[in-house]
Amino acid sequence: MGGCSPGGAAAHPGSPPPSSMGPLIRSREEWLQLLATTTEWHLQGEKPEVHYDSAFEIIERSGAAGLWREGDTILDIGCGNGRLAIPLTTRDVRYIGVEPIAACVEFCRRAFAPWPNLRFVHLDLKSERYNPDGTINPLEFVFPVEDRSVDTILFASVFTHLGTLEVCKRYLDESLRVLKPGGRIGCSWFRSPPNTVCSDTSRTVFLESDIINLLKPFRVLHTEGGLTDGCHDQWVMMLQKP
C-alpha cells in the first residue's frame, strides 16, 4: 500500500490548500500505486490514472454545483473500490460507502484506514452483474443508516445497472427515508429515447417518462447529458428531497 505523506505532500490541483486539509494527504502517485494492486470490479479495464482523475472531476464539479458541502454526511451506494472517496480524503465530510462485492470493501478498508471519517460497509446484496450469489433481495435493500441522517447520496452509474423500475423505486424510497429534508441525490440514467429500452443489467435503459414518474417525490435541480445513444452518455441529475 502506498504510504501517506504529511501535509506538504503533492496533492491534486483541485484540492484545498494544506491549511484546510486533514492531518494526512496521499499523493497522486501513491494512490495510483495503490489502485494498481486491485483487480476487482469497478477498475477492470480502466487505468488507475483514469480512475483517479475522473473521481476528482466528479467530486469537484458536483461540489461546485451544490450536490455536497463541507460538513455533509455522504452516502455512496455502489462505492466499488472507493473511487469517489479518494478526493474526499481532503474534505471535512463524513462518508459511508456501501458495496455488494466483499473484496472491494476489504480493499477500501485497507486503503482508507488513515481516515476514520470514511467508512465502508459490505452488504451481500444480490446483483445479476456484480454479486449474483448475494443473499439480500434488492427489493428489500435497506440502506445501513438512520432515518433523516444523510445530506447527500451518490448513485454513480447505479440506476444504469439495476434492470427494473421496481428495484430503482426501492432505492429511491430508501433515499427518501435516510435523507434529511433538503438532502440531495446525484444520479444518472440511460433513457429512451434516444436509447432502446433494455432490462439487461450491463446497460439498463428506461423510458424517459418512467424515470420522470419515479422522480415525482423529488425536486429536480439540474439535468445534463443523455442526449445521444453513446455507450457512456448518461442522463445526469441532481435531485432534492423537499
CATH number of the domain to which 56 belongs: 3.40.50.150
pLDDT average, residue stretch 182-186: 98
Which residue range(s) make up the domain with 69? 52-240
57-108 pLDDT per residue, tens: 999 999 999 999 999 999 999 999 999 999 999 999 999 999 999 999 999 9
Residue 20 in any domain: the answer is: no
- In a domain, residue 128? The reply is yes
Residue 13 lies in a domain: no
CA distances to 37, 42, 99, 157, 186 from 78, in Å: 20, 9, 5, 9, 13
Mean pLDDT across 36-56? 80
For helices 28-35 and 48-64, the axis angle rounded to 10 degrees is: 120
> What total number of domains does the chain contain?
1
pLDDT in tens, 144-162: 999 999 999 999 999 999 9
Q: What is the mean pLDDT of the chain?
A: 90
- Domain presence at residue 203: yes
Cell readout for 124 is 451481500
Does the pLDDT value for residue 24 go beyond 90? no
Q: Confirm whether 133 is domain-assigned.
A: yes
